[in-house]
Each structure stands twice: as structure tokens, then as C-alpha cells.
Chain A
Amino acid sequence: MTFEEFAAARLPAVLKFAAVLTGDRGLAEDVVQEVLIRANARWETIAGLDRPEAYVHKMIVNEYLSWRRRSWRLVLSGAGTDLTGRSVPDPAAGYAERDAIFAELAKLPLRQRAVLVLRYYEGLSDQEIAEVLGCRPGTVRGYASRALAALRVELTGPLLVAPTTAKEER
């Protein structure tokens, strides 16, 4: 399989994966571009692997985790990150909840977010995630546990929000 053949067949899926991983169209584009430029340069080696797409995904995760630009992001003071550019919250409860999860996902440390994406979007096992991230399965479970706890705590009401945080948010 040539690089062009790979791109024609798999690029849309790769781009979706990057979009889910980053949660940001611009960042996803930047990350995939950087990765594919490097992958293209040594495609013969990558094409010889059992699963070239998995390797490219691993490159994307590593690129995302080491992305140095855009280190600060503004989060709206209300529901959180507005991924669609709307300035008014969507009145539909389902969309509002979805936006709330987006916002909470955006606040997670990168590795925790990556673990969630690899587990729930890619469907990888903890062992497979550990191989992608270069850590132990136990560490993966720790990331996942903290990420899930953070997502749930955020919506379970003010009783679970640390007093200092509540104060800071005013």
C-alpha cells in the first residue's frame, strides 16, 4: 500500500480520530498534518507494519500529547468550551448535556483525555492503550478512573465541588 492509497482509504477515519482526540478542528488538522508529513517521509517502513493505521494513530496520540502551541485556551464562564461557536446555550436539554460533556472533556489533562478516547472511541483494551502511551496498564486505569470521576463529579452538584473552586468561579 502506497502512502496515497493509505490516505485515500483511511484519511477520513484518521481525521475523525484526531478530531475526537483533540476536540478542536484546527488542532486536529495541525496534528494530522505534522504526523502525515513524517509518516510520508518513511512510509516504506510504516507500510511494512502489520497495522499501519494503528501506528499512525499512535503517532497522532504522541503528537497530541507533545503539542506545544496553544497552551492556553479560554473556557466560557458558563457551560464551558463552545465547540460550535454559538454564543447562546442550546435550549435542547440533550445538546446542552452534550456541550457540558464537551466542556468537561476539554478540561481534562491530555493523557486522561487520550485514555478516554482510546478506550471509548477506539475500543482499545487497557493493555493496548498502555502500549500506545508507553506506560503500564495500571497507569491507564488510573488515568481513566480520574477522568471518569472528574466527568461525573462535575455534574453531581455543588456538594462535590471543592469550596476553593466554587469561590474561584465567582
Chain B
Amino acid sequence: MHAGPQMPVRTEDDVRAALMALEDQAPSAENVLRTVRAAGARRGHVLARALRPPRSPHWPWLVITAATAAALAGLTIALLPSGAPSGSPGTRPVRARLVPAMGPPPGRAEPGLPSAAALGKAMLTASSAATSEILYTTQTGGVVRGVITSIDQEWMWPANPVPGQQARWREALSERLSRSKPLLPAEDIGFTYTVPRGNPDSERANEAYGHLTDVCYPVMRGCGLGSMGETPAGAWSQHTGKFINPSAGTGDLSPAGLAKAVAKGQWRVIGRTRMAGQPAIELTETRTGIYRPLPTTLWVNARTHLPIRMNNGTGTMWAQDDWHYLKPTAANMAQLRVPIPPGYREVR
């Protein structure tokens, strides 16, 4: 229990009362049931949405030191050719075919494989060393019988920003409303902010001042992030203020977050294979993994110790995440800018 020199001005009853008051935010049961029943009729497609793993925290987990950088001077980071991502949501081809795992059955590691703890530590060091590259990630949100239901592209620069540094993040989401409809741009968000100083594990490290641009495409009924209000379809908005990242401290798909999860024992090293043309170490989730019971596999580059791909789901429904480190060329840096489609009106 917190004990400081000042008397607390709130009691546990105050917290209890505040939580009770939040019941007023309960949504309509009718709306929820209607959607759930409709999902039953077209179960496959909607279930795929549930396969989406979380992504989000792009916060620094540690500050790279000069010593760490020096120790990693020889680290090879896999770089894509410049200009690899198109930047046009929904148009990027998905390199989704998986290479079958070559490792032994779960629970039996090949001789010579690193322990999860050692691999996690190496992954954390590797992700920390990526100080100048752009981290480009794609999340294929759900593949149902070969049809992609959503693609989420994200750019983060620098890939591992440090406190006090200005960082830029962009997320371009594309959705397919039904199997017969095309995959279309849905929402495009850009956020420029200063990485907060202080203990990265503290609550305040989840807050940042910055400028956010949000473009909402007609696929959506409306867009927006929490209390800043809705941006209607066919419009865009920009906001400057204090933002928070509520996902910090939970499982996340940033390379540093994955490294921590591996080190903590949420993943088990099961073998070596090749993935996306790279030598890879293959991992599967342990009982403490956050995606269970969905079967989830992670591939980490065996040389660079940076994540390559994660796949979760089974059979005809699965989701996939890919990580790439791009050189900060002018063309690649331009991908961090949210394009405003012609004719879209700005709303405030």
C-alpha cells in the first residue's frame, strides 16, 4: 500500500464508487446481440477478427547506452530494399505463405539452441540497437479460407526511440467488409510525438504530447481514438494534445516487447528453420503466453535476433505479423506521412 508523507485524499470507496459510475457507459445489449447473431450466420469471417493479436505500444523499453551500441557494432540488421512498402493501404501484396516448421515436436528443443532467456536478452539488445531505421510492420488481421479480411501497416521511426527523442508513427488500416468485396483503405493515422522522459515502466511513461492526424475512409462508419471524438468517413482531422498508450505494460508486438516476453518464458524455443528467406529460430507459446489457446508461432532471425514473423490461428483462419527494418531514405521516410485524399474535408 502506498505510504507517503501526505495523507491520501481518496479512499478505496472512492475508487469503488467511480467504477460503479462507469456502468453508465454500458453499451446497448440489443446492438451487441444483433452483431453476435449475425456473426453466427457468417461465422468464419467475423471469427477471424478475433484472431488479431494486439499491436500498439511503440514506447521505448530501455535507453540504449553507448556501451550497448559499441557491443553491437557488428550486428547485422536485415534491411529491405528502399521503397519496399507501397504506402497505399490495401495495395501491398501479402507474402503470406508460411514455410513449414522444420523443428522437433513442441517440448523438445534441438541441441545447440539458445535458451528462451538467452534469446530474449539477445532480442532485446538487438531491438535496442536499431536506432536509426524505420520499423515497418504488417499485420494480416485474418485470413479466412484464403481471403484476407484486413491488413494493418505500421511505420515507426526511429524503430526504437529513446526518451526525449521525437518519434513518428503511422498506421494504415485496410478492411474487407465481406468476401465478395475488395480490401479497401479504412483508416490512416499519423502521430508525431516526443518520447517522454522518466522510468519507462512508470505510468507517466505512457503519456506523450504530440500531434495526431486521422483520415477516415468510407469503409468505416467513423474513426477516432477515444475521447477526441469521431472523424466521419470521408473526412480527416488533426489533434494536438496529451495522448496515452493504455497498452503499455501488457503483452505487445513491438520487438522489445516480444523480447521481454521471450525472456520471461512466455515463448519456448523449438527449432531452427528458414523463414522469409532468413535463417530463423522458431518459438511457440508456453502456458503463460497471451494468445493461447490459439496456436501461435514466432520466428526470430537467427543472426540478427530481430523478429521476422508471427503466425497465429489454425486451419483456414489465421493471422500473421511481419517485421521489417527499413533504411531511413527519403522515400521510406515519406511513408510516415499520412496522405490526405483529394476532396476530403477537415473536421474539428
Contact = CB atoms under 8 A, between A and B. Distances in A.
Contacts of A112: 203, 249
Contact of B25 (A28, A38, A74): A28
Nearest to B52: A68
A46 interface: no
Interface residues of A, number: 77
B174 to A, nearest CB: 13
Given A11-B33, A19-B22, A156-B8, A37 B225 contact: no
A26 B189 CA distance: 19
A34 B55 CA distance: 17
A145 B12 CA distance: 12
Interface string B214-253: 0000000000011111000000000101111111111101
B9 A152 contact: yes
A66 B251 contact: yes
Contacts of A66: 53-54, 250-251, 290-291
A153 B54 CA distance: 30
Interface in B8-54: 8-10, 12, 14-29, 31-33, 35-36, 39-40, 43, 46-47, 49-50, 52-54
B26 A37 contact: no
User: Secondary structure of the A side of the interface?
Assistant: helix
B191 A38 contact: no
B242 A77 contact: yes
A96 B139 CA distance: 41
A164 interface: yes
Interface stretch (A47-55, A113-121, A124-132): A113-121
A107 B244 contact: yes
User: Secondary structure of the B side of the interface?
Assistant: mixed
Nearest to B242: A75
B32 A165 contact: no
A15 B14 CA distance: 22
Contacts of A2: none
A15 B26 contact: yes
B203 to A, nearest CB: 5
A81 B4 contact: no
B15, B40, B249 pick with most chain A CB within 10 angstroms: B15
Contacts of B28: 29
Contact of B49 (A16, A34, A117): A34
Interface stretch (B113-121, B126-134, B204-212, B325-333): B204-212
25 contacts: A15-B27, A18-B26, A19-B26, A19-B27, A20-B25, A29-B27, A32-B32, A36-B36, A37-B47, A66-B251, A68-B55, A70-B225, A71-B245, A72-B212, A72-B245, A85-B229, A121-B16, A151-B15, A152-B9, A153-B2, A160-B4, A164-B197, A164-B198, A168-B196, A168-B209
Given A12-B26, A68-B253, A74-B239, 6 more contacts: A68-B247, A75-B227, A76-B227, A107-B206, A110-B246, A168-B197
